Amino acid sequence: MSRGTLTLLAARADGSVTIGPDDSPPTTTLTTGSNLDTAVHAMNDALRLDPGATLLAVADTTTQGLVHHVAWHGTLPASWNPPAPWRTVPFGEVLATLAPTVAGRLRAASRAGILGKRTVHLHDGLRPGARPTKSERTAAQFTWHARTPTAEEDERVRQVWGWLTDACGRVLVVVDRHGAPGLPGGCPEPGESRSATLARETLEEAAAHHGQPAVLGFQHVTEAGRAPYLQLRMTAPLLDVGPAAPDPDNGEIYQRVLVPAAQANLLLGWGPEGDAQAAAVASAFPRAHDCALRHVPEHGWMPEGACQAGSVS
């Protein structure tokens, strides 16, 4: 009798993951009496991977009582290529092709692996007690445009978000108490410029400062019960991250993470739009994937020596 599945998520440092001829990551059926470690080793062997690097990241129980495991095997060198018929594609592209529950498992596994967590327990692809995201509640759809909005389009900008990078090309990501990651940003206040919005939101959410921003592009957003609007995406050099402090809007103290730009969508899990944005930022830092992800300590971070051996002081 089938009792679940095992999926192996093998990611590369360039933000891509391994899929097979069916456009899904390698998956095998687990039956009663199956040995999970043996199944993981067999899948590692099929992809010619070192079995010692595997982290069991997710166990997902469905309403039918079946358990679906996801094993994380990233982050592999960007030069690594799987044997045929396997291939690698950007992570967001994979998420967009899968059923929501399956995509939820892989998103949770990737986040756990990137952040160095040992296990994540899900129920039907969601963390127990987790609330649906705003995008899920509103059935939001995003279209990415890699250009500056026109004057007419600029009138419809309702949110501003920043890809803030250190000298290594690592991006500042904030993670809330539910484990949901995001970029610093939010809604402009009346009379506020786009750059002023980004500076204020970055300070409020991440206690961080950045240099002169530039427009990366914008997303056209459609969602239930609201007129279509635009989200502006900007880039800027990250100058420093101060001591962790509550966000004035909600009192939350976010975890701050510096993740190589090329790998950012492995953490964000935003779909093809996230792939495109991360790739655009990473293009300015050709060796950004060589820097190690680091959690910013509560006392903050300064750029001096930040790129030496991937350290954060």
Task: Please choose, from the candidates 135, 140, 144, 150, the residue with its C-alpha nearest in 3D space to the C-alpha of residue 279.
Answer: 144
Q: 91 and 74 in contact (C-beta within 8 Å)? A: no
Weakest mean pLDDT among 10-14, 51-55, 205-209 = 51-55
Beta-strand relationship, 120-123 and 141-145: unpaired
- Identify the pLDDT of residue 304: 59
pLDDT digits (tens, 9 = 90+) for 48-74: 998 877 888 999 999 888 999 999 998
Give long-range contacts, CB 8 A cutoff, 24+ apart: 184-187: 184/208, 185/159, 185/160, 185/161, 186/159, 186/160, 186/161, 186/249, 187/158, 187/159, 187/160
Interatomic CA distance for residues 74 and 8, integer angstroms: 10
- Identify the pLDDT of residue 289: 66
Q: 106 and 25 in contact (C-beta within 8 Å)? A: yes
Two tokens at 75? 């982050």
Two tokens at 247? 């966000």
Q: 55 and 71 in contact (C-beta within 8 Å)? A: yes
Interatomic CA distance for residues 277 and 234, integer angstroms: 10
- Identify the pLDDT of residue 66: 92
E strands, the chain, in order: 2-9, 16-19, 27-31, 55-61, 67-72, 87-90, 120-123, 141-145, 157-165, 170-175, 181-182, 185-186, 208-210, 214-223, 226-241, 255-260, 294-295
Which residue would you say has higher pLDDT here, 304 or 175?
175
**Above 90 in pLDDT, residue 299?**
yes
Q: 299 and 283 in contact (C-beta within 8 Å)? A: no
Two tokens at 254? 């976010």
- Identify the pLDDT of residue 306: 46
Helix, strand, coil fractions of the chain, as percent rounded to 5: 25, 35, 40
Q: Is 299 exposed, middle or buried (0-12, 13-18, 19+ CB in 10 A)?
A: exposed
pLDDT digits (tens, 9 = 90+) for 91-129: 999 999 999 999 999 999 999 999 998 899 999 998 887
